[in-house]
Amino acid sequence: MSEQKAYVKYQVENQIATIEFSTPEHNSMPGHSLAELAKTITKAGEDKEAKVVILKSGGNRTFCAGANFQELISIENREQGLEFFSGFAHVINAMRKCPKFIIGRVQGKTVGGGVGLASSVDYCMATKYAAIKLSELNLGIGPFTVGPAVERKMGLSAFSQISIHANRFYDAEWARQKGLYTEVFETTEELDEAVQELAEELCTFNPEAMAEMKKMYWKGTEDWDQLLHERADISGKLVLSEFTKNKLKDYK
């Protein structure tokens, strides 16, 4: 059996663009994969053959385990820290600016930056196995970069709860009640059927109307290019703190 490699795949079929990402480490995302994902989302937004976008990850278990941990451990200065934490910022902003509705398909657990991805799609569906966790505070960092997206989707109360309880998974039903997921399904097969059905239905609607609706949904986020950059810089500074350096030693 050949070793699995990281990938970002893009295809369009019957006006539905599907973007799938995967890495061998529970779909944790290295910087080059995040850059490719942001570029691919932008491509989907510009693709005249596509009317709607589905964002999914490969595999049957974890949707996204956040950023790549080995890259986090290797950060040696603030510039590297800013670059590292900007990875998810670029993806979130690409989704924000995409003029087409993005449907999120979350088949399993999602952690850290993965919660940011789920928060940044326009309509997110999941299985009952799709528990969420914001684990950044455990490392002395905090979910600064994804915070605006999570807070926008779930509200300040829910965001503060999961970011303070950094070692706790919150189940999919809790996430649905807080507005992250619109629907939760028993199986991946049921999830895929519902995602496909919604995507096909959206393809029958006026793309200009959907683009205007998307602008309406994201009103008030026009400063996010700068805001998420500033938030990434905060994390880039904190990752160099003595507390975080000592924490990361346990993972080397």
pTM: predicted TM-score of the whole model, two decimal places: 0.96
Three-class SS string for the chain? Answer: CCCCCCEEEEEEECCEEEEEEECCCCCCECHHHHHHHHHHHHHHHHCCCCCEEEEEECCCCCCECCECHHHHHCCCCHHHHHHHHHHHHHHHHHHHHCCCCEEEEECCCEECHHHHHHHHCCEEEEECCCCEECCHHHHCCCCCCCHHHHHHHHCHHHHHHHHHCCCCCECHHHHHHCCCCCEEECCHHHHHHHHHHHHHHHCCCCHHHHHHHHHHHCCCCCCHHHHHHHHHHHHHHHCCCHHHHHHHHCCC
| Residue range 115-125: mean pLDDT, rounded | 98
The pLDDT score that the predictor gives to residue 83 is: 96
pLDDT digits (tens, 9 = 90+) for 236-251: 999 999 999 998 887 7
The pLDDT score that the predictor gives to residue 2 is: 39
pLDDT digits (tens, 9 = 90+) for 105-118: 999 999 999 999 99
Domain-wise residue ranges, the chain: 7-190
pLDDT digits (tens, 9 = 90+) for 56-113: 999 998 999 999 999 999 999 999 999 999 999 999 999 999 999 999 999 999 999 9
Look up residue 58 and give its two tokens.
């490969």
Fold of 7-190: 2-enoyl-CoA Hydratase; Chain A, domain 1 (3.90.226)
The pLDDT score that the predictor gives to residue 1 is: 33
